[in-house]
């Protein structure tokens, strides 16, 4: 495997291999000195053409713990803002001989475009509404650690499915691993024919959450034209927020997950977010383990 | 100067004949159609085993000249047309300046007169600057030689203005060509809305955006008792609406493009910007409905919507890429697939490639004694691989690069002169 562009083209074995590899990095991340020389001498560029705190930092932490040399580029301050095309920027970066580029971009398919221009490994850190593979992998890792497997689990995925790359990557992954996904969100946030992706579509969250093992919330993306997606926050939270009452419909030991950044009081109630069932911060910790595993498998000379 | 196209199978649907015969051309005009031609002192083109058809016409191309000559200019566009078997083309008005003034129309004719002999008929803007706000000087544009009017790409959204455009244009016998699109629905869209836009994570525009505007424009044509031509029909629902209005007796003609019968929205999976087209590639059900509409005569013509864009404009993030693909040089083999699949007869295919004469009121469309010798000779069985680097067009934006196809233009004859012949 040279690139990680999405979950769609991974098989079950490849996914399990990444999760199992992440276990050994989890151990490293528990140590006093959290650094190994695995990627010493490797150069990784983090190219974030869209704002990101969590994912960018998580990748950078993972890269540094593997001893790679890392460089961060944001679009503000890059040549793209001065009118250079992405293709030219990519060619110039390629000329500096990186081993990998981690890319976040608002346009679906841009990581794929870069694989056609650059020679290095391309890791998709989120493209448009398309895929966010490392998020799905860290979610899977969290579920796997907590539940011991995926087969037969019921996962409720709630909120803005339409604009969510997290949703798409998770749907692919959970289906491949034998879990069942039920989704719910306002009609404006459900993409067309999404049921063909192998999910059950429920009108209201209460039906999707019923007996769920996992309740996975998605962020309401306020930066989108939200007045065309829902009337206001009051109404959104009234029908689609994960409240303690709603969570009671799920299994007693159901996990609450959120890829962040969360809007407290909009899609998730404070009490739930900070409650015992929430594994939201654990997801963030696991993100480092999983990203180290991905980088190692793509760059660490794990020859296959 | 005498040319004999010898022993080809002459497909002449408007005359109602398909027969193996020879065509004698003198001074640019067909002088004889005979099985025993006198080839003395004549250049002989051996068409044995080939089809010989009236010159194809493409009623929907973008030649980018004036204004965007780095994508295509009139000379290169006419070369691409000849290589695709076309002897006449109608150019859309979205040049810079737009073809909303008679000087630009005259410039186009002037440039085309320096070309290879393929005839160019400009379609002029319906509104000033293609802005959809006020009437273009349609009378003067008609006088200058514009063949029809259209705001292709920026369709008139204001229905009152559409009515006035059609009413005013009728004075000068100018027909409105409708690029049917609800611009609100398509504003941020990158592709057709459906399963694949969901999977690829892109904003989609539903079929409704096209079909609702076709319905509006057909209603207006029926109400005003004026003809209208519907450009690039891509969807099943659009076909049904056109059928409905045709059956009511409205004067409606319609075209589709080769890509709508070849590809579907699934093709956007590689995020190749050469699959970004407007109207977008639709579903498989739509593709099949468009083929059926060709068979049943609901769609009258094949037009390419040849839309050249420079490689650097297409080699960008998907959302930043302009819509459109070049089409002139791949049209025939893509449509001939329907002949090989036994969906359409060869007569029907020739009719679809020459219907522009009927739709746009251009003279020609048949091979007959006394008529200008515009003739397309093609081999339906020749197999080849599309190589965008071989295009005569300045632009190479095609999703068909590497496609194995069957059928090729052997020669294109305009005014009795062989202006293109393929090196096999």
Confidence of residue A292 (pLDDT cuts 50, 70, 90): very high
Confidence of residue A304 (pLDDT cuts 50, 70, 90): very low
A140 and A248, same domain (yes or no):
yes
The CA distance from B176 to B185, in Å, is 22
Taking the CA atoms of chain A, what radius of gyration do you get in angstroms?
19
| Pairing state between β A214-217 and B17-26 | unpaired
- Mean pLDDT across the stretch B327-339? 98
A91 and A39, same domain (yes or no):
yes
Whether residue B270 lies within 8 A of chain A, CB to CB, comes out as yes
A240 and A154, same domain (yes or no):
yes
Confidence of residue A301 (pLDDT cuts 50, 70, 90): low
Q: Which of residues 46-105 of A touch B (CB under 8 A)?
A: 85-87, 105
Overall size of chain B counted in residues:
424
Q: Which of A188, A195, A256, A265 is closest to A234 using CA atoms?
A: A265
Q: Which residues of B touch A87 (CB under 8 A)?
A: 312, 315-316
pLDDT of residue A224: 62
* Cβ pair A109:B318 closer than 8 A: yes
Q: Which of residues 196-215 of A touch B (CB under 8 A)?
A: 196-197
User: What's the pTM?
Assistant: 0.94
User: In this model, does residue A259 exceed pLDDT 50?
Assistant: yes
CA–CA min distance A4, chain B (Å)? 15
pLDDT of residue A303: 42
- Mean pLDDT across the stretch B306-326? 96
Q: What is the pLDDT of residues B63-99, one digit of tens each?
A: 999 999 999 999 999 999 999 999 999 999 999 999 9
Which residue bears the tokens 């009728």? B170
Closest CB to A112 among B199, B270, B319: B270
CA–CA min distance B50, chain A (Å)? 41
Rounded to the nearest integer, the mean pLDDT of chain B is: 97
The CA distance from B302 to B256, in Å, is 5
SS3 B171: coil
User: In this model, does residue B20 exceed pLDDT 50?
Assistant: yes
SS3 B371: coil
The CA distance from A150 to A240, in Å, is 26
A153 and A87, same domain (yes or no):
no
Q: Which CATH architecture has domain B2-51+370-390+403-421?
A: Roll (2.30)
Q: Which residues of B touch A165 (CB under 8 A)?
A: 201
**What count of other Cβ atoms lies within 10 Å of the Cβ of residue B368?**
13
In angstroms, the Cα distances linking B168 to A115, A289, B150, B159, B164 are 53, 70, 13, 14, 6
B151 is catalytic: no
Q: What is the pLDDT of residues A135-149, one digit of tens each?
A: 999 999 999 999 999
* Cβ pair A194:B198 closer than 8 A: yes
User: In this model, does residue B424 exceed pLDDT 80?
Assistant: no
Q: Do residues A273 and A282 touch, judged by C-beta distance below 8 A?
A: no
In a domain, A1, yes or no: no
Q: Which residues pair with B6 in a beta bridge?
A: B46
Q: Which residues contact B286 (CB under 8 A, 6 or more apart)?
A: B207, B234, B235, B236, B260, B264
In a domain, A83, yes or no: yes
The CA distance from A186 to A171, in Å, is 18
In a domain, A4, yes or no: no
Query: With the C-alpha atoms ordered A236, A242, A247, A248, is the resulting torsion angle positive or negative?
Result: negative
Range of the domain at A58: 12-130+284-299
> How far does CA B162 lie from the centroid of its chain?
23
The CA distance from B82 to B89, in Å, is 10
In a domain, A272, yes or no: yes
What tokens does A253 get? Answer: 């030991």
- Mean pLDDT across the stretch B188-207? 97
Q: Which residues of B touch A197 (CB under 8 A)?
A: 198-199
Which is catalytic among the residues B65, B151, B182, B305?
B305
The secondary element (H helix, E strand) that includes residue B287 is helix B284-296
The CA distance from B127 to B129, in Å, is 6
| Pairing state between β B2-12 and A154-158 | unpaired
A164 and A42, same domain (yes or no):
no
Rounded to the nearest integer, the mean pLDDT of chain A is: 94
Confidence of residue B328 (pLDDT cuts 50, 70, 90): very high
Confidence of residue A228 (pLDDT cuts 50, 70, 90): confident
| Pairing state between β B404-414 and B191-192 | unpaired
- Mean pLDDT across the stretch B251-277? 98
In angstroms, the Cα distances linking B198 to A112, A169, B256 are 17, 12, 26
Q: Where are the domains of chain B?
A: 2-51+370-390+403-421, 54-360
Chosen for mutation from A108, A129, A166, A168 (greatest number of chain B CBs closer than 10 Å) is A108
pLDDT > 90: what percent of chain B? 97
Query: With the C-alpha atoms ordered A191, A197, A202, A208, is the resulting torsion angle positive or negative?
Result: negative
* Cβ pair B199:A128 closer than 8 A: no
Confidence of residue A221 (pLDDT cuts 50, 70, 90): confident
- Mean pLDDT across the stretch B97-114? 98
Closest CB to A109 among B193, B271, B315: B271
The secondary element (H helix, E strand) that includes residue A287 is helix A280-299
In angstroms, the Cα distances linking B59 to A119, A185, B101, B339, B340 are 43, 46, 20, 22, 25
- Mean pLDDT across the stretch A48-58? 93
Chain A and chain B share a number of CB contacts under 8 A equal to 69
Taking the CA atoms of chain B, what radius of gyration do you get in angstroms?
21
Q: Which residues of B touch A86 (CB under 8 A)?
A: 316-317
A147 and A246, same domain (yes or no):
yes
Sheet containing A100-105: order of strands = A69-74, A43-48, A100-105, A121-127
Q: Which residues of B touch A127 (CB under 8 A)?
A: 201
Q: Which residues pair with A103 in a beta bridge?
A: A47, A124
What tokens does A224 get? Answer: 């989108």
User: In this model, does residue A75 exceed pLDDT 80?
Assistant: no
CATH of the domain at A112: 3.40.50.1370
The CA distance from B282 to B196, in Å, is 10
Whether residue B175 lies within 8 A of chain A, CB to CB, comes out as no
Is B54-360 a CATH 3.40.50.300 domain?
no
A102 and A190, same domain (yes or no):
no
User: In this model, does residue A253 exceed pLDDT 60?
Assistant: yes
CA–CA min distance B195, chain A (Å)? 5
CA–CA min distance A112, chain B (Å)? 7
Q: Which of B405, B322, B15 is closest to B153 using CA atoms?
A: B322
Degrees, nearest 5: CA angle B14-B20-B23: 70
Tally of structural domains, chain A: 2
A42 and A107, same domain (yes or no):
yes
A195 and A119, same domain (yes or no):
no
* Cβ pair B200:A108 closer than 8 A: yes
The CA distance from A59 to A52, in Å, is 11
For residue A111, what is the nearest residue in chain B, using CA coordinates? B317
């Amino acid at each position: 495997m040279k690139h990680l562009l999405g979950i769609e083209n991974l098989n079950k074995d490849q996914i399990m291999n990444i999760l199992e590899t992440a276990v050994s990095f989890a151990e490293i991340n528990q140590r006093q000195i959290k650094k190994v020389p695995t990627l010493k001498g490797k150069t990784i560029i983090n190219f974030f053409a869209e704002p990101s705190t969590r994912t960018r930092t998580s990748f950078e932490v993972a890269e540094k713990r593997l001893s790679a040399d890392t460089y961060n580029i944001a679009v503000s301050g890059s040549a793209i803002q001065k009118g250079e095309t992405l293709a030219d920027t990519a060619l110039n970066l390629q000329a500096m001989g990186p081993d990998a580029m981690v890319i976040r971009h608002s346009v679906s398919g841009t990581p794929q475009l870069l694989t056609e221009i650059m020679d290095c490994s391309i890791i998709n850190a989120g493209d448009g509404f398309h895929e966010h593979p490392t998020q799905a992998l860290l979610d899977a890792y969290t579920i796997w650690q907590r539940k011991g497997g995926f087969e037969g689990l019921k996962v409720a995925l709630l909120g803005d499915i339409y604009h969510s790359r997290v949703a798409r990557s998770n749907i692919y992954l959970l289906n491949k691993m034998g879990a069942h996904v039920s989704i719910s969100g306002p009609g404006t946030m459900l993409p067309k024919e999404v049921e063909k992706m192998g999910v059950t579509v429920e009108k209201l969250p209460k039906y999707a959450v019923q007996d769920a093992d996992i309740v996975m919330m998605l962020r309401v993306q306020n930066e989108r034209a939200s007045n065309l997606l829902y009337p206001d926050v009051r109404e959104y939270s009234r029908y689609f927020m994960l409240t303690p009452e709603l969570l009671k419909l799920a299994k007693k030991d159901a996990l609450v997950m959120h890829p962040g950044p969360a809007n407290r009081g909009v899609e998730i109630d404070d009490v739930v977010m900070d409650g015992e069932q929430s594994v939201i911060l654990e997801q963030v910790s696991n993100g480092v383990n999983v990203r180290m595993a991905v980088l190692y498998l793509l760059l660490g000379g794990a020859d296959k | 100067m005498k040319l004999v196209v010898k022993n080809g199978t002459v497909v002449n649907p408007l005359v109602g004949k398909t027969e193996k015969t020879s065509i004698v051309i003198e001074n640019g005009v067909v002088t004889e159609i005979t099985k025993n031609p006198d080839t003395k002192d004549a250049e002989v083109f051996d068409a044995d085993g080939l089809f010989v058809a009236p010159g194809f016409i493409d009623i929907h191309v973008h030649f980018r000249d004036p204004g965007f000559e780095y994508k295509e200019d009139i000379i290169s566009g006419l070369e691409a047309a000849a290589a695709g078997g076309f002897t006449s083309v109608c150019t859309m008005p979205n040049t810079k300046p737009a073809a909303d003034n008679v000087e630009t129309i005259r410039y186009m004719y002037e440039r085309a007169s320096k070309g290879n002999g393929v005839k160019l008929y400009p379609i002029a803007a319906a509104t000033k600057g293609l802005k959809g706000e006020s009437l273009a000087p349609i009378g003067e544009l008609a006088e200058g030689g514009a063949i029809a009017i259209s705001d292709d790409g920026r369709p008139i959204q204001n229905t009152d203005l559409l009515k006035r455009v059609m009413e005013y244009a009728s004075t000068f016998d100018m027909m409105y060509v409708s690029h049917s699109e609800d611009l609100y629905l398509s504003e941020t869209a990158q592709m057709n809305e459906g399963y694949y836009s969901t999977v690829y994570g892109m904003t989609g525009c539903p079929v409704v955006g096209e079909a609702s505007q076709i319905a509006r424009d057909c209603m207006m044509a029926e109400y005003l008792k004026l003809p209208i031509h519907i450009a690039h029909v891509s969807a099943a629902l659009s076909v049904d609406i056109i059928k409905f209005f045709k059956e009511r007796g409205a004067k409606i003609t319609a075209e589709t493009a080769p890509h709508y019968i070849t590809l579907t929205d699934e093709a956007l999976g590689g995020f190749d910007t050469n699959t970004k087209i407007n109207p977008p590639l639709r579903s498989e059900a739509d593709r099949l409905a468009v083929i059926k509409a060709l068979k049943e005569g609901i769609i009258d013509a094949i037009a390419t919507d040849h839309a050249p864009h420079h490689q650097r404009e297409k080699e960008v993030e998907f959302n930043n890429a302009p819509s459109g693909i070049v089409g002139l040089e791949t049209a025939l083999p893509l449509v001939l697939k329907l002949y090989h699949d036994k969906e359409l007869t060869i007569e029907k295919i020739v009719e679809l490639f020459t219907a522009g004469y009927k739709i746009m009121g251009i003279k020609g469309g048949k091979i007959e004694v006394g008529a200008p010798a515009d003739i397309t000779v093609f081999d339906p069985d020749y197999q080849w691989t599309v190589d965008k680097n071989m295009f005569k067009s300045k632009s190479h934006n095609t999703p068909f690069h590497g496609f194995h196809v069957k059928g090729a233009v052997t020669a294109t004859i305009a005014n009795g002169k062989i202006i293109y012949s393929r090196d096999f």
